[in-house]
Amino acid sequence: MRARPAKRGCGTAAVSGAAPCCPARLALVVWLAAIGCGGVARPEGVPQDATYVAGVKVGWWQDCRLETGESAVRCKVWNQRGLVLEDGYFLPYDGGPQPTATELKIDAEPKFPGSDLVYLVDGRILLPESRFGKMKDFVDWSYGKPSRHW
């Protein structure tokens, strides 16, 4: 019986025993490397330590840092295309002290996601200082608490 020659092409072994590089496979590998483990490509200009936060339909990138002598938290939020949605100081919803640098860990899957709400893994919520009153009322309403305006 005669041995069949090895086929060449995508998904078949070459004579050497190794599968040749298929353009579709190469594109898939490059795409998977670009999106990383999170499943969403990080837009240009978004820092590597920003956290992707999954929303109901879309998500966004959030990054918070202590500033001005570690007494203020500045957060920046980008959409999936890299457009800045928020850039300013944020305050704790609970009225407590600002989180420390070690407590500033953003929750990637919060209970009530919103691009202008920053949920920390310890359960605390940070709200934009510029709209603190309205945002606090909204969070109160979301959790079934009485609010001033809803």
Domain ranges in the chain are 1-35, 51-142
- Per the CB < 8 A criterion, the answer to whether 94 and 103 are in contact is no
Mean pLDDT for all residues in the chain: 80
E-strand spans in 1-150?
51-54, 59-67, 72-78, 84-92, 118-119, 125-128
Task: Please give the residue that has the higher pLDDT: either 95 or 9.
Answer: 95
Percent of the chain topping pLDDT 90: 55
pLDDT digits (tens, 9 = 90+) for 11-67: 444 444 544 544 545 343 333 344 444 578 999 999 999 999 998 889 999 999 998
Give yes or no for a contact between 87 and 68, defined as CB atoms under 8 angstroms apart: no
pLDDT of residue 89: 95
Give CA–CA dist 73/62, Å, rounded.
12
The closest of 93, 119, 123, 108 to 61, measured between CA atoms, is 108
